[in-house]
Amino acid sequence: MQKPRVRIYTDYKSPYAFVANQRLFELEEKHGVELEWLPYTLRVAEFMGTVEERTPHFWRKVRYAYMDARRFANAQGLTMKGPRRIYDAFYSSVGMLFAQRHGFFRAYHEAVFRRFWSHDLELDELSEMSGVIASLGGSAKEFEDYVHGPARAEHERIIDEAEALGVFGVPTMVFNGELFWGGDRIDMLIERIQDPQSIAAALGSRYRK
């Protein structure tokens, strides 16, 4: 029997994506779900504006968001230090794709999240991301060849496909075409996995078979 399949869009620089990982992996372990992890690399300035444009209201929201995410992190025994600057997560995102193809995705995934939020990794330094790949048994040279070759086009295709589905943030889970944004929607996702027909009651007249 084919396992239910859930696609997960994530970004290593998202605090809420970091703290959702444990429960997302439990979907595989406890609910017999097959997970497909893909990058959705947030373009911070696009939805948060430049630093110079941000209002006091915005900064209160940001401070709350990191405090809130830190509560979830502390409950799991995770270290979460606020980012020191705005990062371009392209190298880490395509590193995810590379790690999947070479059989060390979970080790990579957990290492990158843990090290970045501990201030032990610069996501936008190719040499540092190549070092992560090498430390997990991958080839730094092959990774760098991939980065300088087809990675950018593949990355952009994945982002375009995500946005065509309606994705705008992370973590976003997609099951049978329905989107669930945020770790606090995982229980709703589990309900849908256990009873796919519950979508009709959930969405009412908006649901179409």
pLDDT digits (tens, 9 = 90+) for 27-70: 999 999 999 999 999 875 555 555 567 788 777 888 898 999 99
Q: Token pair for residue 94?
A: 């395509």
Fold of 5-206: Glutaredoxin (3.40.30)
* Average pLDDT value for residue range 181-197: 96
Concatenating the DSSP letter of every residue in 94-131 gives HHHHHHHHTT-HHHHHHHHHHHHHTT---TT-HHHHHH
Cβ atoms of 195 and 207 closer than 8 Å: no
Per-residue pLDDT tens over the stretch 116-131: 999 999 999 999 999 9
The residues spanned by each domain of the chain are 5-206
Q: Please tell me the pTM assigned to this model.
A: 0.92
Q: Who contacts 5 (Cβ-Cβ below 8 Å, separation ≥6)?
A: 33, 34, 35, 36, 175
Compute the mean pLDDT over every residue in the chain, rounded to the nearest whole number: 92
Q: What is the pLDDT of residue 34?
A: 96
Cα separation, 99 vs 38, in Å, equals 12
